[in-house]
């Protein structure tokens, strides 16, 4: 084996260190000198020759094998600054600059939503996260990501894997910690036959609602979350913000960006993360392509008190964006698209000249592209708020404020 010594220049978008070549080196930091055998374009098992001053001791014993975390070797200050830098770089690619606020980082053990994997073995079952760059499942004896009630559920998930899994397929457990218990949506399991359906209700005291594939098994309690003045029961496996702290940071940024607006549209509204809190003060029109999410939002609205009018519209905003003439009746918009961004919809917003916009994004690259459309139409990018609710991962989220100064008087 021939060892090569390299110096890490920067981190890539997946959190790997990158040395000249390029050579990709996991679990390293910029400025570090590392040695190891290069296979292809990677050093899979690096030896740290000269550590970075930002290197810290990872708190989890699984860090080197588990794929759940990629940046646990870095200080919180480094990760926060790096994520802000990712946003700045994405903006610079479009000749954009903006004040980037300090990153709002969620605490350890705060993840209320996570997906774990399970597989039967000869002697039992394994449940955990996948190993780094592998289909192997790392069974967890500790976890610094998951909220304690989710981590405590692992023995139950092992039992469920033994009941409904196989050695040739991987079960997926989409877990959500709600205010009334844990919601668990299982996919990849055996067919829900009579014996399995009869066996699963034994977990009623640990799982509030259990779904197997597309079939409900039981709902001992409706999993609910408070959003503003409403209580929402999301559909099984629904998208939600990963931590309560991250959701609060995004909501605060959106509320600030839309201050002064009196007629709001929430595009890609989900089940009401922003629409319902905003409706405590002003009317909101919520638009979402997933009818089940919008049904949950509508149900919550009908059973809440103290909300201004909330209207809903099922619409695929990628294929059928709302046109400028229909957007012109709003003076504020919050838009929270998937990773692909919302180029076509953003172009219509720019044309409509809606005075205030709150953009929420989980992809700085597509955010910058869409923000550039707005700035080209006269908008000012006032500030960007990085939000890190996927702690120790390279995932970057943000909220941003854009406005038309001549219409807002700013």
Residues with a catalytic annotation lie at: 362
| Residue 90: Cβ within 10 Å count | 22
Specify which residues 125 forms β-bridges with: 120
CB 60 within 8 A of CB 52: no
- DSSP designation for 146: B
| Strand ranges (E), 258-346 | 264-267, 284-288, 310-314, 332-335
Which run of H or E residues covers position 327? helix 324-327
d(CA 205, CA 220): 8
CA 143/CA 251 separation, integer angstroms: 27
Distance CA 273, CA 289 (A): 15
Tokens of 211: 């779904």
Please give the full DSSP string across 335-398, using - where no structure is assigned: E---TT--HHHHHHHHHHT-SEEEEEES-HHHHHHHHHHHHHTT-EEEEEEEEE-STTSS--EE
> Residue 182's closest CA among 245, 114, 239?
114
CB 14, CB 70: distance < 8 Å? yes
Give the residue among 255, 385, 399, 267 at the shortest CA–CA distance from 333: 267
Taking the CA of residue 208 as centre, how many other CA atoms within 13 Å lie in the half-sphere pointing to its CB? 19
φ, ψ for residue 111, nearest 5 deg = -70, 115
Within the chain, how many helices (H) and strands (E) appear? Answer: 11, 23
Give, in order, the Cα–Cα distances in Å from 183 to each of 46, 219, 315.
Answer: 40, 9, 27
């Amino acid at each position: 084996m021939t060892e090569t010594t390299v110096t890490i220049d920067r981190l890539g978008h997946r959190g790997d260190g990158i040395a000249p070549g390029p050579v990709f080196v996991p679990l390293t930091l910029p400025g570090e000198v590392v040695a190891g055998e290069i296979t292809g374009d990677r050093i899979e098992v690096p030896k740290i020759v000269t550590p970075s001053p930002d290197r810290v001791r990872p708190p989890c014993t699984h860090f080197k094998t588990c794929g759940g975390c990629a940046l646990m070797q870095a200080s919180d200050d480094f990760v926060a600054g790096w994520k802000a830098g990712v946003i700045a770089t994405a903006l610079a690619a479009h000749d954009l600059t903006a004040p980037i606020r300090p990153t709002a980082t969620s605490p350890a053990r705060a993840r209320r939503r996570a997906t774990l994997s399970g597989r039967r073995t000869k002697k039992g079952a394994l449940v955990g996260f996948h190993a780094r760059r592998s289909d192997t499942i790392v069974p967890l004896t500790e976890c610094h990501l998951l909220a304690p009630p989710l981590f405590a559920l692992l023995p139950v998930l092992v039992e469920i894997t033994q009941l409904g899994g196989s050695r040739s397929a991987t079960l997926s457990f989409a877990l959500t910690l709600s205010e009334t218990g844990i919601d668990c949506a299982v996919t990849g399991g055996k067919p829900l036959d009579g014996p399995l359906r009869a066996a699963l209700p034994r977990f009623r005291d640990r799982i509030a609602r259990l779904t197997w594939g597309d079939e409900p098994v039981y709902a001992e309690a409706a999993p609910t979350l408070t959003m503003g003045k409403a209580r929402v029961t999301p559909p099984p496996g629904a998208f939600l913000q990963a931590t309560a702290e991250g959701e609060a940071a995004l909501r605060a940024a959106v509320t600030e960006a839309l201050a002064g607006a009196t007629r709001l549209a929430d595009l890609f509204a989900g089940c009401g993360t922003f629409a319902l809190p905003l409706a405590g003060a002003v009317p909101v029109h919520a638009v979402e392509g997933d009818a089940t999410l919008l049904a949950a939002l509508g149900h919550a609205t009908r059973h809440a008190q103290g909300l201004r009018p909330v209207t809903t519209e099922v619409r695929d905003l990628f294929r059928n964006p709302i046109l400028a003439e229909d957007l012109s009746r709003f003076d504020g918009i919050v838009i929270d698209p998937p990773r692909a961004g919302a180029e076509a919809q953003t172009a219509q917003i720019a044309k409509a000249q809606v005075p205030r916009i709150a953009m929420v994004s989980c992809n700085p690259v597509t955010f910058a592209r869409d923000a550039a459309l707005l700035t080209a139409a006269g908008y000012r990018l006032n500030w960007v708020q990085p939000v890190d609710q996927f702690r120790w991962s390279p995932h970057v989220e943000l909220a941003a404020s854009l406005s038309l100064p001549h219409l807002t008087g700013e």
